[in-house]
Structure 1
Amino acid sequence: MKEVRMVGVPEHFNLPWHLCLENGEFNAVGIDLQWTDIPEGTGKMCQMLRQGETDLAIILSEGIIKDIAAGNPTLIIQEYVASPLLWGIHVAADSPFQTIEDLQHKRIAISRLGSGSHLMAIVHAKKMNWNLEELEFVVVDTLDKAVIALQNKEADYFMWERFMTQPLVDQHVFRRIGECPTPWPSFVLVGRRDFVQQHPALVEHLVEVINATTSEFKSIPSIDRTLAERYHQKVEDINTWLSLTRWSQKQVSKVNYNKIQQQLVDLNLIDTPKQYEEIKM
């Protein structure tokens, strides 16, 4: 039995991994998968991959592509979620801001530099034709700390996955004033280059297990109620999310990789682009 360390965000996208763990499916192919939830998100996971603190990760496409270009020794094993991520744009419930236009020149809460919340705030600002050099970021680490930062007026708005923040909107903690979908597939499965190259058969077995589950995930009986209960969501919101979400069982296409990287280059977030063939397993 080979121990494999893996990280991902504690969100509904990753339930297939937990179901496979609970059903002993990784053990059945000789893999002792040790999963750790990382509420800080992509920036923290990039750091863990760099420092050898994890072997694999489910991570936002744009975040890891930026970090690989900056020297992170990680390979993309395959695309995990093919559909875009729908980012909600949130302010405190009692905030005076009512429209997206009100947020120009306002302070942006982000989990950390290089995180999805950071990169998508820049993508959104460019879409709005705001001056990117004037953006002001407040690092808050986690969703819970973003709540505190907005309530204490330490930051003005925060972008996070739209459905995971729905309970906070329902509770009148946040008010959502807009949405911003990523123009690319949202999540990828990645691994440290040395780990992937040393254990290709193990990685292949792991991919076969998770792909078998994601390919039939939506047809699992009562999966909407399971998701709603585990992630504290309303069933109707989960069903909307399920209708928008497509898991993938294939490698990221060269077209999508180049699209993401070019967007990051255009935003001056990547200095030295990597060729597609360099970054994939």
Structure 2
Amino acid sequence: MQPNTVDQIRVIGVPEHFNYPWQLALDDGAFAKQGIDLQWTDIPEGSGRMSKMLADGEADLAIILTDGLLKAVADGLDAKIVQLYVASPLLWGIHVGSDSPYKSLEDLRGTKAAISRFGSGSHLMAYVNASQQDWSEADLQFEVVNTLDGAVSALTDATADYFLWERFTTQPLVDQQIFRRIGVCPTPWPCFVIAGRSEFLDGNRPLVQSVLRIINTYTEEFLEIPSIDRTLSNTYGQELEAIREWMKLTSWSQQQISTAALQQAIAILDQLNLLKKRLSPEDLLA
């Protein structure tokens, strides 16, 4: 693997509407105009896969779920948070197959959850949901399905019983009666951070700061772009009203995540026995 030049940076994130500002910036040539060769890769497998890519040196920055990053760092990933990206909670829809016999959250006690990977948001939020429902750890079982398409197959052929995924991303599947949503579980923390490999950050801080300045310009003005609701609706195959509802609920950040928000997320994940070691905010902030 060739080492990165000072003006090259590999950034990864999920192919969802949260990351459309990156696509706009790339389409506008905003990074290239500043001499930055930003290579973006969509990772449909989510935060568990992104954590491994950071660990393996296959990416430099990731727009990753806060909880997924904390779990990965507790497991040994050497990465730091350079900024909060989305300050609002993520709304995890709890889905079953359209023909599933399960009608309520309580019906799901002891059944099998589809997850993209262990350590992913779909895995970690299954524990958060279980805690909120007063289930025990013994009530949780998992089936790794890798992607949203994998979850469709698993819930359709009943190799798994339910699946947690971002509520608006799955809306087309609900509209098509492939999934049936029986609940929503919001994250008790801001949902996405921008994290980088510590080794990369140590040698490329001016480059990273330049990238942040550019993307922050786009996220700050994103919701004010004329007809952005229609653009998102067409790009992601969602009904216009659903996109407008999502826009009302979503706020991007241009600042570092607060120590208080990190402490809350750490405390909850630690209470659920999901962290191999106790973390402190100082361990996590670049």
TM range (shorter): over 0.9
Match of 1:113 in 2: 118
Shift of residue 186 of structure 1? Answer: 0.3
Q: Distance in 2 between matches of 1:251 and 1:182?
A: 18
Instruction: Return the offset for 1:116.
Output: 0.1
TM superposition outliers: structure 1 runs of 4+ over 3 Å? none
**What does residue 28 of structure 1 align with?**
33
Task: Tell me what 1:143 maps to.
Answer: 148
Aligned residue number for residue 195 of structure 1: 200
1:30 deviation in Å? Answer: 1.4
Matched, 1:274 2:279: yes
| Residues in 2 aligned to 1:49 and 1:87: alpha-carbon distance in whole angstroms | 24
* Deviation of the 1:133 alpha carbon: 2.8
Could you say what secondary structure the match of 1:124 adopts? Answer: helix
What letter matches 2:175 in structure 1?
D
1:81 counterpart residue number: 86
Aligned pairs for 1:1-281 (under 5 A) are 2-281=7-286
The alpha-carbon deviation at position 244 of structure 1 amounts to 0.0
Q: Which runs of 5+ in 2 are unaligned?
A: 1-5
What percentage of residue pairs aligned between the two structures are identical? 54
Q: Secondary structure at the match of 1:137?
A: strand
Residue-by-residue CA offset, 1:217-259 (whole Å, 9 max, x unaligned): 0000100001001100111100000000000000010000010
Paired with 1:202 and 1:130, the residues of 2 have a C-alpha distance of: 46
Q: What CA distance in whole angstroms lies between the structure 2 residues aligned with 1:197 and 1:28?
A: 24
* 1:2 Cα deviation after fit: 1.6
Output the CA distance in 1 between the equivalents of 2:188 and 2:269. 12
Give the drift of 1:278.
Answer: 2.4
Q: What amino acid does structure 2 have at the position aligned with 1:242?
A: M
Unaligned runs of 5+ in 1: none
Query: What secondary structure is seen at the aligned counterpart in 1 of 2:277?
Result: coil
Q: Which amino acid aligns with 2:102?
A: F
How far, CA to CA, are the matches of 2:138 and 2:104 in structure 1? 22
1:99-119, Cα deviation, whole Å (9 max, x unpaired): 111101111000010000000
1:49-79 C-alpha deviation (Å, 9 max, x unpaired): 0010100100000010111122101010000
Q: d(CA) in 2 for partners of 1:16 and 1:236?
A: 20
TM-score by length of 1: 0.99
Counterpart amino acid of residue 17 in structure 1: W
Contact 2:109/2:139 (CA < 8 Å) preserved in 1? no
Note the aligned Cα RMSD (angstroms): 0.8
Shift of 1:127: 0.7
State the Cα distance separating 1:279 from its structure 2 match: 1.5
Aligned length: 281
Instruction: Determine the C-alpha separation between the residues in 1 that align with 2:136 and 2:206.
Output: 48
